Structure 1
């Protein structure tokens, strides 16, 4: 959806196609950090952590990544004006404000859900239900919801939910099997007794996730590795919430890298269906994503060095 909206608008204003596609593909990383995030929910279920804490913890890293990307875009635009030329038509602020009236409902819904969880008005599960109800009400008020669209939305939600739950069921069985074999405990003991600095172990795990992200989807990757990795992190005394944010960011970076690069292929498949994207190739998107790939590592390094970016809000809200 984001590609369908952004790509035509940016190409119409003569933005460089590589820069355009790279920006769109990189923006897909933010959705997995800032609530509501499906990956956070899956991560919490697999590791038996509080989903509410994970969702709130993702706000800081999400805004950090957005800030780093924004600074990179500004520097690129100033240094290479031909890649992002200034708009010839200047839109007055009054018109910009009026344009926001069409999205006030979505903004209010998102802010209401996040604020409700932060203030403890409802749990993450209740927040999901409230969000679904709010979205339904907005659709009814806009009079854009037809019977066919409603049924299609229900079918898509059911299919996605069934897919995720089957993966989670397999992950839980796999985790129980590992516990019975004693492998996580033995592996944790071996790692902790090896005398390797905790930071080095964290970095090694992140490189593992980056490598796996080149070939696997996010949920499968977490389902296979977290039953082994999470006990080690806990035994080393590393904040599991902070580590969760590092893993999510690293997994999202992996979605930008070849040979799979799920975000890249998603942008390419949608661009091929749009007249403005008919000349966009995979090479264009991979070249366009390269600066954001580097910026992602900058944000990840900051996140590693400043754990409070991940832990400040959970400590403020939940006292942990």
Structure 2
């Protein structure tokens, strides 16, 4: 039986295991065990070594730290302070406070690293305030559902750490690479809001009374703790003072100080944040361990090399390969979360992408954008579930509200594919200094 047929059978096995309701980590490990059995009589030894090597990585220690930082900040008044601090600066822009949704999600996402946490936390503050002031509920919901996905694009991001570890690329380089695309997504979201506001002036309240520059600065002083935390965590990495793991530890310390200063740090909130971070970290690491074993098994069977050779033999152009992968990831995104999408596919996809001549850091940002799209794609878009819980509305209604912003994400994918320098220029420039 040739390698392509074996790959097809393993794919069917993996789908059957996942469809049976088995944990993703166990489904990955089980498929890897079968694959390893084809080439080695003692696959259990490889299973043990793969689990130890994948979870004993110093680089991977950044993951639980960033998760814990986000869990701590989720329990502070940060989102309320962000909303109040940003509001004075958008009063004269068409769409007004709707832009605060985008800005607040971008800033909170940069310190939480989680799409769901960003969406839920900012929505909790923004939705009641926007409804009270008479803003169009549909646009408010759509902007919050999609802007919440900035939690995985604006660094530091949990899913960026997962991709960097799985693809064996620099975490810091992936973090830096996400900055310009993240800003581009925020700009496109705000551009749509401006166009919508100009076309629908009756669906937004009249501008409030003006504020002096001093009053704006005084109200925006609430942003200082958050900005200091972002600058400390990201700046220390960009300047080469700390590794990603050390920066994550400083981030946890800073978030604890921030929670204490805002009087949100109690023994109960501390324990809850630690428990939440432990649960999520264990789940992700378990999945990564299963994926590491599957990756090792695939490498020993030669399946990734055979698939890469098959792609090369098909003489598909680089953009054709990217087009096929886009469809595959969007289909996966309707049924799997972002972490699972990445660890399921990395071992097979990375050799193809390298063969096609694409930069792996660029490809990481490309995948993360597709995961953002998956977060708001029915039936399993996680942010749709979050907004459904926050609003009590049907998932279909939320998906339609998010559709224009969904298209902005698609535009971003097209732009970074045509102009890859959007992703690669900044890390190349900063890390060459």
Using structure 1 for the length normalisation, give the TM-score.
0.94
**Partner SS state of residue 86, structure 1:** coil
1:43 aligns with 2:43: no
1:282 — aligned with what? 395
Say if 1:17 and 1:284, in contact at 8 Å, map to a contact too. Answer: no
Deviation by residue 1:138-179 (Cα, 9 ceiling, x = unmatched): 222333311111111111111111111111111111111111
Q: How does 1:199-278 map to 2 (within 5 A)?
A: 199-272=319-392
Q: How does 1:56-205 map to 2 (within 5 A)?
A: 56-205=176-325
* Residue 196 (structure 1) shift: 0.7
Return the alpha-carbon distance in structure 2 between the equivalents of residues 119 and 208 of structure 1.
37
Return the alpha-carbon distance in structure 1 between the equivalents of residues 221 and 291 of structure 2.
44
**Partner SS state of residue 28, structure 1:** helix
Using structure 2 for the length normalisation, give the TM-score.
0.70
**Partner SS state of residue 238, structure 1:** coil
Return the alpha-carbon distance in structure 2 between the equivalents of residues 220 and 308 of structure 1.
28
Return the alpha-carbon distance in structure 2 between the equivalents of residues 89 and 24 of structure 1.
26
**Partner SS state of residue 222, structure 2:** coil
> Can you give the 5+ residue segments of structure 2 that lack an aligned partner in the other structure?
1-120
Deviation by residue 1:74-105 (Cα, 9 ceiling, x = unmatched): 11111112333333444444333222222311
Return the alpha-carbon distance in structure 2 between the equivalents of residues 116 and 83 of structure 1.
44
1:294 aligns with 2:410: no
Say if 1:3 and 1:271, in contact at 8 Å, map to a contact too. Answer: no
1:34 aligns with 2:147: no
* Residue 194 (structure 1) shift: 1.4
> Can you give the 5+ residue segments of structure 1 that lack an aligned partner in the other structure?
273-279
Return the alpha-carbon distance in structure 1 between the equivalents of residues 311 and 206 of structure 2.
54
2:420 — aligned with what? 307
**Relative contact order, higher structure (CA 8 A, sep 6+):** 1
Return the alpha-carbon distance in structure 1 between the equivalents of residues 247 and 183 of structure 2.
21
Deviation by residue 1:40-68 (Cα, 9 ceiling, x = unmatched): 00001111111111111111110111111
Which among 134, 138, 145 is matched to residue 14 of structure 1? 134
* Residue 206 (structure 1) shift: 1.3
User: Are residues 86 and 285 of structure 1, via their aligned partners in 2, closer, same or farther at CA, if it must alter by over 3 Å?
Assistant: farther
* Residue 192 (structure 1) shift: 1.3
Say if 1:58 and 1:245, in contact at 8 Å, map to a contact too. Answer: yes
**Partner SS state of residue 344, structure 2:** helix
Return the alpha-carbon distance in structure 2 between the equivalents of residues 169 and 57 of structure 1.
26
